Amino acid sequence: MAWFNDFERQTRTVAGLPVCFRQTTDWAAQAHLPVLVLLHGFPQTHVMWHRVAQNLRGRYRLVMPDLRGYGDSSHAVGDAMHQHYSKRAMAQEVVGLLDALGVGDFFLCGHDRGGRVAHRLALDHAQRVKKLCIIDIAPTLDMYSGNWGKTPQVSGPVADPYFAFAQAYYHWFHLTQPAPLPEFMIGGNPKAYLHAKLGGWGSQGLDYIEPEALAEYERAFCNPMLNDKGWHAAIHSAAEDYRASAGIDLQHDADSRQRGDKIACDTLVIWGDRGVVNRMFKPVELWQAQCAGQVAGQLMSAGHFIPEERPQATSDALAQWMV
Protein backbone atom coordinates (compact mmCIF):
# COMPACT_ATOMS: atom_id res chain seq x y z
CA MET A 1 0.00 0.00 0.00
CA ALA A 2 1.42 3.40 -1.00
CA TRP A 3 2.72 5.57 1.82
CA PHE A 4 0.32 8.53 2.14
CA ASN A 5 -0.45 8.78 -1.56
CA ASP A 6 -2.91 11.66 -2.12
CA PHE A 7 -2.05 13.30 1.21
CA GLU A 8 0.21 16.29 1.71
CA ARG A 9 2.32 17.08 4.77
CA GLN A 10 2.30 20.65 6.01
CA THR A 11 3.23 22.73 9.04
CA ARG A 12 1.07 25.68 10.06
CA THR A 13 1.61 28.19 12.82
CA VAL A 14 -1.34 28.20 15.22
CA ALA A 15 -1.28 30.78 18.04
CA GLY A 16 2.46 31.14 17.53
CA LEU A 17 3.32 27.43 17.63
CA PRO A 18 4.05 24.96 14.81
CA VAL A 19 1.48 22.25 14.11
CA CYS A 20 2.52 19.50 11.72
CA PHE A 21 -0.25 17.62 9.92
CA ARG A 22 -1.25 15.74 6.82
CA GLN A 23 -4.38 16.54 4.86
CA THR A 24 -6.11 15.37 1.73
CA THR A 25 -4.43 16.67 -1.43
CA ASP A 26 -6.58 18.91 -3.68
CA TRP A 27 -8.32 20.20 -0.56
CA ALA A 28 -10.36 22.87 -2.35
CA ALA A 29 -11.33 20.58 -5.21
CA GLN A 30 -12.79 18.11 -2.72
CA ALA A 31 -14.73 20.72 -0.76
CA HIS A 32 -17.93 18.71 -1.27
CA LEU A 33 -16.59 15.96 1.01
CA PRO A 34 -17.12 16.05 4.80
CA VAL A 35 -14.06 16.56 7.00
CA LEU A 36 -12.85 13.78 9.29
CA VAL A 37 -10.17 14.65 11.87
CA LEU A 38 -8.02 11.77 13.16
CA LEU A 39 -6.04 12.24 16.40
CA HIS A 40 -3.22 9.85 17.35
CA GLY A 41 -2.05 8.66 20.76
CA PHE A 42 1.12 7.90 22.72
CA PRO A 43 3.87 7.16 21.76
CA GLN A 44 2.99 7.71 18.11
CA THR A 45 2.42 10.45 15.56
CA HIS A 46 -0.23 11.08 12.93
CA VAL A 47 1.29 8.38 10.69
CA MET A 48 -0.53 5.73 12.75
CA TRP A 49 -3.54 6.55 10.55
CA HIS A 50 -1.75 5.68 7.29
CA ARG A 51 -3.70 2.53 6.44
CA VAL A 52 -7.01 3.96 7.63
CA ALA A 53 -6.41 7.10 5.59
CA GLN A 54 -5.80 5.11 2.42
CA ASN A 55 -9.02 3.18 3.01
CA LEU A 56 -11.07 6.35 3.58
CA ARG A 57 -9.68 8.63 0.89
CA GLY A 58 -12.40 9.78 -1.46
CA ARG A 59 -15.02 9.55 1.31
CA TYR A 60 -13.74 12.42 3.44
CA ARG A 61 -11.31 15.26 3.49
CA LEU A 62 -8.93 13.97 6.15
CA VAL A 63 -6.92 16.05 8.62
CA MET A 64 -4.31 14.21 10.71
CA PRO A 65 -2.25 16.44 13.01
CA ASP A 66 0.67 15.66 15.25
CA LEU A 67 -0.75 16.61 18.64
CA ARG A 68 1.08 19.24 20.65
CA GLY A 69 4.13 17.57 22.15
CA TYR A 70 4.39 14.82 19.53
CA GLY A 71 5.99 14.30 16.14
CA ASP A 72 6.97 17.52 14.43
CA SER A 73 4.57 19.78 16.30
CA SER A 74 5.65 22.02 19.20
CA HIS A 75 7.70 20.59 22.08
CA ALA A 76 7.69 23.63 24.35
CA VAL A 77 8.71 23.25 27.99
CA GLY A 78 5.69 22.69 30.21
CA ASP A 79 4.55 25.14 32.90
CA ALA A 80 4.20 24.47 36.62
CA MET A 81 0.48 23.62 36.39
CA HIS A 82 0.90 21.70 33.08
CA GLN A 83 -1.76 23.90 31.49
CA HIS A 84 0.15 24.08 28.23
CA TYR A 85 -0.36 20.33 27.72
CA SER A 86 -3.89 20.18 29.12
CA LYS A 87 -6.38 18.47 26.84
CA ARG A 88 -8.24 21.78 26.73
CA ALA A 89 -5.20 23.55 25.30
CA MET A 90 -4.47 20.69 22.89
CA ALA A 91 -8.10 20.61 21.73
CA GLN A 92 -8.04 24.38 21.19
CA GLU A 93 -4.93 23.97 19.03
CA VAL A 94 -6.71 21.37 16.87
CA VAL A 95 -9.67 23.74 16.48
CA GLY A 96 -7.26 26.56 15.61
CA LEU A 97 -5.74 24.42 12.87
CA LEU A 98 -9.19 23.64 11.47
CA ASP A 99 -10.08 27.34 11.59
CA ALA A 100 -6.94 28.05 9.53
CA LEU A 101 -8.08 25.42 7.01
CA GLY A 102 -11.53 26.98 6.76
CA VAL A 103 -13.30 24.01 8.36
CA GLY A 104 -16.57 24.55 10.20
CA ASP A 105 -18.06 21.36 11.58
CA PHE A 106 -16.37 17.99 11.24
CA PHE A 107 -16.34 14.34 12.24
CA LEU A 108 -13.77 13.49 14.92
CA CYS A 109 -11.94 10.31 15.94
CA GLY A 110 -9.24 9.90 18.57
CA HIS A 111 -7.17 6.93 19.69
CA ASP A 112 -5.53 6.76 23.12
CA ARG A 113 -4.31 10.30 24.05
CA GLY A 114 -6.03 11.58 20.94
CA GLY A 115 -9.27 10.18 22.35
CA ARG A 116 -8.78 12.27 25.49
CA VAL A 117 -8.18 15.38 23.41
CA ALA A 118 -11.26 14.50 21.35
CA HIS A 119 -13.34 14.12 24.53
CA ARG A 120 -12.39 17.60 25.73
CA LEU A 121 -12.83 19.08 22.25
CA ALA A 122 -16.34 17.64 22.02
CA LEU A 123 -17.22 19.26 25.36
CA ASP A 124 -15.59 22.65 24.76
CA HIS A 125 -16.53 22.98 21.07
CA ALA A 126 -19.74 20.97 20.89
CA GLN A 127 -21.13 22.89 17.93
CA ARG A 128 -18.15 21.87 15.79
CA VAL A 129 -18.30 18.07 16.23
CA LYS A 130 -20.86 16.22 14.10
CA LYS A 131 -20.07 12.73 15.41
CA LEU A 132 -17.33 11.32 17.60
CA CYS A 133 -15.36 8.07 17.78
CA ILE A 134 -13.22 7.14 20.79
CA ILE A 135 -10.78 4.21 20.46
CA ASP A 136 -9.61 2.03 23.36
CA ILE A 137 -9.99 4.34 26.33
CA ALA A 138 -12.43 4.94 29.14
CA PRO A 139 -12.89 8.49 30.49
CA THR A 140 -9.75 9.72 32.24
CA LEU A 141 -11.49 10.59 35.50
CA ASP A 142 -13.06 7.12 35.71
CA MET A 143 -9.79 5.35 34.99
CA TYR A 144 -7.80 7.26 37.60
CA SER A 145 -10.67 6.90 40.10
CA GLY A 146 -10.94 3.14 39.65
CA ASN A 147 -14.52 3.48 38.43
CA TRP A 148 -14.37 0.23 36.52
CA GLY A 149 -18.05 -0.07 35.54
CA LYS A 150 -17.63 -3.87 35.87
CA THR A 151 -15.84 -6.47 37.96
CA PRO A 152 -12.33 -6.35 36.46
CA GLN A 153 -10.67 -9.55 35.30
CA VAL A 154 -7.84 -9.85 37.81
CA SER A 155 -6.00 -12.82 39.30
CA GLY A 156 -3.04 -13.58 41.48
CA PRO A 157 -2.17 -13.23 45.15
CA VAL A 158 -3.26 -9.56 45.19
CA ALA A 159 -6.77 -9.59 43.72
CA ASP A 160 -7.11 -5.82 43.79
CA PRO A 161 -8.14 -4.24 40.49
CA TYR A 162 -6.19 -1.07 41.11
CA PHE A 163 -3.04 -3.14 41.70
CA ALA A 164 -3.62 -4.82 38.33
CA PHE A 165 -4.35 -1.49 36.66
CA ALA A 166 -1.20 0.12 38.04
CA GLN A 167 0.89 -2.79 36.79
CA ALA A 168 -0.66 -2.67 33.31
CA TYR A 169 -0.57 1.13 33.03
CA TYR A 170 2.46 1.87 35.17
CA HIS A 171 3.45 4.58 32.66
CA TRP A 172 0.42 6.60 33.82
CA PHE A 173 2.16 6.96 37.18
CA HIS A 174 5.78 7.01 36.06
CA LEU A 175 5.36 9.76 33.47
CA THR A 176 3.56 11.99 35.96
CA GLN A 177 6.60 12.16 38.26
CA PRO A 178 8.20 15.62 38.45
CA ALA A 179 10.59 16.56 35.67
CA PRO A 180 13.22 15.59 34.82
CA LEU A 181 13.15 12.11 36.42
CA PRO A 182 11.12 10.33 33.69
CA GLU A 183 12.93 12.35 31.02
CA PHE A 184 16.33 11.14 32.25
CA MET A 185 15.24 7.55 32.86
CA ILE A 186 13.54 7.06 29.47
CA GLY A 187 16.19 9.11 27.70
CA GLY A 188 18.79 6.52 28.66
CA ASN A 189 17.38 4.16 26.03
CA PRO A 190 14.35 5.76 24.32
CA LYS A 191 14.21 3.19 21.50
CA ALA A 192 13.90 0.26 23.92
CA TYR A 193 11.19 2.10 25.84
CA LEU A 194 9.33 2.98 22.63
CA HIS A 195 9.40 -0.61 21.39
CA ALA A 196 8.18 -1.91 24.75
CA LYS A 197 5.19 0.43 24.62
CA LEU A 198 4.32 -0.28 20.99
CA GLY A 199 4.62 -4.02 21.51
CA GLY A 200 2.60 -4.09 24.73
CA TRP A 201 -0.98 -3.61 25.91
CA GLY A 202 -2.16 -6.75 24.12
CA SER A 203 -0.58 -5.91 20.77
CA GLN A 204 1.71 -8.98 20.84
CA GLY A 205 4.89 -7.46 19.41
CA LEU A 206 5.74 -5.04 16.62
CA ASP A 207 4.78 -7.05 13.54
CA TYR A 208 1.56 -5.07 13.06
CA ILE A 209 3.54 -1.87 12.39
CA GLU A 210 4.77 -1.28 8.87
CA PRO A 211 8.47 -0.34 8.58
CA GLU A 212 7.82 3.24 7.45
CA ALA A 213 5.62 3.91 10.48
CA LEU A 214 8.06 2.34 12.96
CA ALA A 215 10.91 4.38 11.51
CA GLU A 216 8.82 7.52 11.93
CA TYR A 217 7.99 6.71 15.57
CA GLU A 218 11.67 6.09 16.27
CA ARG A 219 12.69 9.31 14.54
CA ALA A 220 10.17 11.37 16.51
CA PHE A 221 10.41 9.78 19.96
CA CYS A 222 14.16 9.16 19.98
CA ASN A 223 15.02 12.58 18.56
CA PRO A 224 18.03 13.77 20.61
CA MET A 225 16.92 17.43 20.40
CA LEU A 226 17.04 19.09 23.84
CA ASN A 227 14.66 21.77 25.05
CA ASP A 228 15.57 25.00 26.86
CA LYS A 229 16.00 23.09 30.12
CA GLY A 230 18.48 20.68 28.56
CA TRP A 231 15.97 17.81 28.72
CA HIS A 232 15.05 15.40 25.93
CA ALA A 233 12.35 17.51 24.25
CA ALA A 234 10.11 14.76 22.84
CA ILE A 235 10.13 12.73 26.05
CA HIS A 236 9.50 15.83 28.17
CA SER A 237 6.48 16.92 26.14
CA ALA A 238 4.98 13.41 26.20
CA ALA A 239 5.46 13.31 29.97
CA GLU A 240 3.80 16.72 30.23
CA ASP A 241 0.77 15.28 28.42
CA TYR A 242 0.47 12.68 31.21
CA ARG A 243 1.24 15.17 33.99
CA ALA A 244 -1.63 17.29 32.72
CA SER A 245 -3.94 14.27 32.63
CA ALA A 246 -3.20 13.48 36.28
CA GLY A 247 -3.80 17.06 37.39
CA ILE A 248 -5.42 19.90 35.52
CA ASP A 249 -7.33 17.60 33.14
CA LEU A 250 -8.93 15.81 36.09
CA GLN A 251 -10.03 19.18 37.46
CA HIS A 252 -11.49 20.18 34.09
CA ASP A 253 -13.32 16.85 33.86
CA ALA A 254 -14.62 17.11 37.44
CA ASP A 255 -15.84 20.65 36.77
CA SER A 256 -17.61 19.50 33.61
CA ARG A 257 -19.35 16.70 35.47
CA GLN A 258 -20.39 19.01 38.29
CA ARG A 259 -21.99 21.35 35.74
CA GLY A 260 -23.67 18.40 34.03
CA ASP A 261 -21.83 18.96 30.75
CA LYS A 262 -22.20 16.06 28.30
CA ILE A 263 -20.84 15.19 24.88
CA ALA A 264 -23.69 16.36 22.67
CA CYS A 265 -23.10 14.28 19.55
CA ASP A 266 -23.53 10.56 18.92
CA THR A 267 -20.40 8.63 19.90
CA LEU A 268 -18.89 5.34 18.75
CA VAL A 269 -16.61 3.51 21.18
CA ILE A 270 -14.16 0.92 19.82
CA TRP A 271 -11.92 -1.21 22.00
CA GLY A 272 -9.72 -4.29 21.67
CA ASP A 273 -10.49 -7.65 23.24
CA ARG A 274 -6.83 -8.16 24.32
CA GLY A 275 -6.40 -4.72 25.85
CA VAL A 276 -6.51 -3.32 29.37
CA VAL A 277 -9.74 -1.41 28.74
CA ASN A 278 -11.60 -4.59 27.90
CA ARG A 279 -10.13 -6.46 30.85
CA MET A 280 -10.85 -3.81 33.45
CA PHE A 281 -13.55 -1.41 32.28
CA LYS A 282 -17.02 -1.28 30.74
CA PRO A 283 -16.37 1.42 28.14
CA VAL A 284 -19.83 1.79 26.61
CA GLU A 285 -21.52 2.33 29.96
CA LEU A 286 -18.82 4.72 31.15
CA TRP A 287 -18.99 6.77 27.96
CA GLN A 288 -22.78 6.75 27.88
CA ALA A 289 -22.72 8.40 31.31
CA GLN A 290 -20.74 11.26 29.73
CA CYS A 291 -22.79 11.57 26.54
CA ALA A 292 -26.17 13.13 25.81
CA GLY A 293 -26.25 11.49 22.39
CA GLN A 294 -26.39 7.85 21.37
CA VAL A 295 -23.38 5.69 22.27
CA ALA A 296 -22.60 2.56 20.29
CA GLY A 297 -19.81 0.09 20.98
CA GLN A 298 -17.69 -2.24 18.88
CA LEU A 299 -15.28 -4.79 20.33
CA MET A 300 -12.49 -5.77 17.93
CA SER A 301 -10.06 -8.67 17.94
CA ALA A 302 -6.99 -6.60 18.76
CA GLY A 303 -4.79 -5.17 21.46
CA HIS A 304 -4.51 -1.44 22.10
CA PHE A 305 -3.23 -0.14 18.74
CA ILE A 306 -6.41 -0.96 16.85
CA PRO A 307 -6.12 1.39 13.82
CA GLU A 308 -2.84 -0.29 12.87
CA GLU A 309 -3.71 -3.82 13.97
CA ARG A 310 -7.15 -3.78 12.33
CA PRO A 311 -7.08 -0.96 9.74
CA GLN A 312 -9.83 -2.32 7.50
CA ALA A 313 -12.20 -2.99 10.38
CA THR A 314 -11.45 0.46 11.83
CA SER A 315 -12.03 2.10 8.45
CA ASP A 316 -15.30 0.26 7.94
CA ALA A 317 -16.53 1.23 11.40
CA LEU A 318 -15.71 4.89 10.80
CA ALA A 319 -17.29 4.93 7.34
CA GLN A 320 -20.51 3.44 8.71
CA TRP A 321 -20.64 5.79 11.71
CA MET A 322 -19.43 9.08 10.25
CA VAL A 323 -22.45 9.82 8.02
Annotated catalytic residues are: 112, 304
Give phi and psi for 211, each to the nearest 5: -55, -40
Measure the CA–CA gap between 225 and 269, rounded to whole angstroms.
36
Torsion of CA 17, 23, 25, 26, to 10 degrees: -80
Asked if 68 and 218 count as a contact pair (C-beta separation under 8 A), the reply is no
| Bridge-based pairing state of the strands 267-272 and 295-300 | parallel
Asked if 269 and 298 count as a contact pair (C-beta separation under 8 A), the reply is yes
Put the strands of the sheet holding 7-14 in their side by side order. 7-14, 17-24, 61-65, 35-39, 106-111, 129-135, 267-272, 295-300
Q: Of 29, 52, 27, which Cα lies nearest the Cα of 39?
A: 52
What number of other Cβ atoms are within 10 A of residue 88's Cβ?
18
| Bridge-based pairing state of the strands 61-65 and 17-24 | antiparallel
Measure the CA–CA gap between 93 and 91, rounded to whole angstroms.
5
Q: Of 73, 65, 43, 59, which Cα lies nearest the Cα of 118?
A: 65
Measure the CA–CA gap between 229 and 169, rounded to whole angstroms.
28
Q: Which residues contact 93 (CB under 8 A, 6 or more apart)?
A: 14, 15, 17, 19, 68
